[in-house]
Amino acid sequence: MNGRQYASRFLWGLFIVALGSGFLLKQFGIIDFDIGEIASTFWPVVLMFAGLNGLLFASSVGSAIWSGGVMFSIGFIFLGRNLDWFEWSVGDLMRFVGPVILIMFGLNMIFKPKHYGKREYDKRDDWQSFKPTGYVPPAPPLHPDPTAYPGTPDAIGQEEPAPPSPPNPPTGPNLSKEPNHKYESRHAQHLADRLNRHQQKIERKMERIHQKIERHAGGSYRKHRNPWERVEWWDNDPNTQTRSGFIGDIHIGNDHWELKPLNISHFVGDTVLDLTKAQIPAGETKITISSFIGDVKIYLPNDYEIGIHVVSSAFIGDARVLDMRDSRLFRSMDVESPYYKETEKRIKLVCSTFIGDVRVTKVG
């Protein structure tokens, strides 16, 4: 075992020993703490510990930045927010991640030495085939006749006699006769029977294929109406508006605008949706927001005549929806305002993020 593996195991072992010691002291009554509160507050320490392990024991600088630096930074931000050290968010961190990645990529292209690929290595050091246009060496001399004794005329200078020609094959009386016509007729009949059976087999297969196609066409409606099939949250309504972004922030609703079904997809950055100045139509309007890394902030008008239904899911991050808050891992929330189905104007928000916070607040 090399030193890097031993140090990594020592670091993780030390962390587990400290955790077990805390539980043991609690059992003896020396210290007192709430396990649920400790877990909900200090769970980012696990991310920081994993990031520190990646920074110290990564095999390369690039892998250390990705596996260690990002993980440690995310854990530090969530720990600071849980302890009220600062009010940073993952979106604030992501504003600096994009430029840093570009800088590191450019420096890697400038200073990284060139390595030959596998194909270039094969072209340089692989075996070279023989070229027929080059020099051809003469044929080696023939060996002497092993059957000739030394001193005999054959062994001294006489040429080796030519080998005798092979005898002609014997011609029997039955070989020159014409073929049997009775045998040929039986053989032709056998071939015809085999061809007929093969054609019937192909026809039966084609008939079964047509039957399967008809059954599939007849049951396609039942298949798509299967209640157990996977259902996408994405809205396929042709009247739905679509907004997408890669890196940066998306702000919608700075001025007065008419609300329509909306799909928003974002990779890195914050998404801000202001509905306080929107003209909300009657009926249910669905808004779907999908984000990979970044915060989602939605501002709603404080009007009891508007029903709100929020479905939120995330891997890491806090969720503050109206009067509810959830900061667990793998969280999922489904919040609905009172008398949602009875209201004339309804807004359904579906927010899914991987890393980031979701805030849905009423303003006014």
> Would you list the domain boundaries of the chain?
3-88, 241-363
Does residue 55 or residue 262 have the better pLDDT?
262
Position 177 scores a pLDDT of 47
Instruction: Please tell me whether residue 250 adopts helix, strand or coil conformation.
Output: strand
Q: Select, from the ranges 15-24, 41-50, 115-124, 306-315, the one with the highest average predicted confidence (pLDDT).
A: 306-315
Give the pLDDT of residue 134. Answer: 54
Given a cut of 60, whether residue 113 has pLDDT beyond it is: no
56-62, long-range: CB < 8 A, 24+ apart: 56/7, 56/8, 56/11, 57/4, 57/7, 57/8, 62/104, 62/108
Mean pLDDT of 263-292: 89
Condensed to tens digits (0 to 9), the pLDDT of residues 199-219 reads 888 888 888 887 777 665 554
Q: What spatial distance separates the first Cα and last Cα of the chain, rounded to whole Å?
A: 64
Q: Are the beta carbons of 259 and 285 closer than 8 angstroms?
A: yes
The string of pLDDT tens digits covering residues 326-361 is 777 777 888 888 888 889 899 999 998 888 888 899
Cα separation, 306 vs 347, whole angstroms = 7
141 token code pair: 């001399």
The pLDDT score that the predictor gives to residue 162 is: 54
Residue 347's pLDDT is: 92
What global pTM score does this model have?
A: 0.43
> What is each CA distance from 4 to 9, 10, 57, 59, in whole angstroms?
9, 10, 6, 10
**CA–CA gap between residue 264 and residue 168 (Å, rounded):** 91
